[in-house]
Amino acid sequence: MRTRGNLIVLSGFAGVGKGSVLKAMFETEEGYAYSVSATTRSPRPGEVDGVHYFFISKERFEEMIEKEELLEYASYVGNYYGTPKAYVEEKLEQGFDVILEIEVQGALLVKEKEPNAILIYMLPPGARPLYERLSGRGTETEEIIRKRMTRAAKEAEYLVKYDYIIVNHDIDECAANLHALIRAQRQRVSNNLPFIQKLQKELVDFSKKEC
Ligand code: 5GP
């Protein structure tokens, strides 16, 4: 009996490696759908509309808010980011585990609306490895790296509101742990009620019959 997929929210500091871990997990595992967000920020070099984000105008974004087309949205560093609702709903119905890679404010809104959503926070093994990772990219100035570290310290205050943490020591190991964590949710009693009720009925019917 097909069960509805899990709604998974993945957050983590800039530079922690969410993108690389998800890429590794999607390459080896099946049954996932990645929710592409809408945003009003401009594409960065290499980003493709419809793949990394739906890059839309502020007017169109506000229309989506008004028409209740978004599951959640947040304003982050001067731009809107939001999750289109229809895709998420369709994929959950089809039994896919849907991944939202979103920041903290949006994650908490999702939990309010969908209490069964699973909130996972990806962490670096320590502050220094995060700093080294941000510096290692070689694309940012020291000032920007410091700002990201300060933001990480602030965001870490919200960690206790999440359901699980996952530590990124190594991309493949972290991808395997993330997959195991998500798959385990499939065994939740609350995710299997149709099957449980069917079995309960069968057992009652069976016990009334002569064997
Ligand atoms: P970036 O501009 O670096 O791609 O993303 C900035 C932040 O926005 C990241 O923390 C990312 O996870 C978050 N984000 C991306 N899409 C969404 C979304 O649909 N909703 C919310 N609330 N945050 C998002």
Separation CA 174–CA 164 (nearest Å): 13
Task: Output the CA 200–ligand 1 centroid distance in Å.
Answer: 43
Confirm whether 157 is domain-assigned: yes
Domain boundaries, position 119 = 7-35+97-205
Confirm whether 91 is domain-assigned: no
How confident is the model over 63-73, as a mean pLDDT?
98
Strands 37-39 and 53-55: parallel
Task: Output the CA 102–ligand 1 centroid distance in Å.
Answer: 5
Atom of ligand 1 nearest to the CA of 70: 19
- pLDDT tens digits for 3-45? 889 999 999 999 999 999 999 999 999 999 999 999 999 999 9
User: Which two structure tokens, joined as six digits, stand for 161?
Assistant: 């509101």
- pLDDT tens digits for 104-115? 999 999 999 999
pLDDT at position 211, please? 64
Confirm whether 109 is domain-assigned: yes
pLDDT at position 2, please? 59
Which CATH number is 103's domain given?
3.40.50.300
Contact 73, 80 (CB under 8 A): yes
**For the chain, percent helix, then strand, then coil, each to nearest 5?**
50, 20, 30
Confirm whether 22 is domain-assigned: yes
Confirm whether 190 is domain-assigned: yes
How confident is the model over 168-195, as a mean pLDDT?
94
User: Which residue minimizes the CA distance to atom 20 of ligand 1?
Assistant: 82
Confirm whether 1 is domain-assigned: no
pLDDT at position 1, please? 54
pLDDT at position 48, please? 96
User: Which residue minimizes the CA distance to atom 15 of ligand 1?
Assistant: 102
Structural domains counted in the chain: 1
Residues with CB under 6 A from ligand 1: 37, 41, 72-74, 76, 81-83, 101-103, 105-106
Best substitution site from 7, 102, 148, 154 to test ligand 1's pocket, by max atoms within 8 Å of Cβ? 102
- pLDDT tens digits for 73-121? 999 889 999 999 999 999 999 999 999 999 999 999 999 999 999 999 9
Contact 3, 192 (CB under 8 A): yes
- pLDDT tens digits for 145-169? 999 999 999 999 999 999 999 999 9
Question: Is the whole model's pTM more than 0.85, yes or no?
Answer: yes
Confirm whether 61 is domain-assigned: no
Confirm whether 181 is domain-assigned: yes
pLDDT at position 191, please? 85
Atom of ligand 1 nearest to the CA of 109: 22
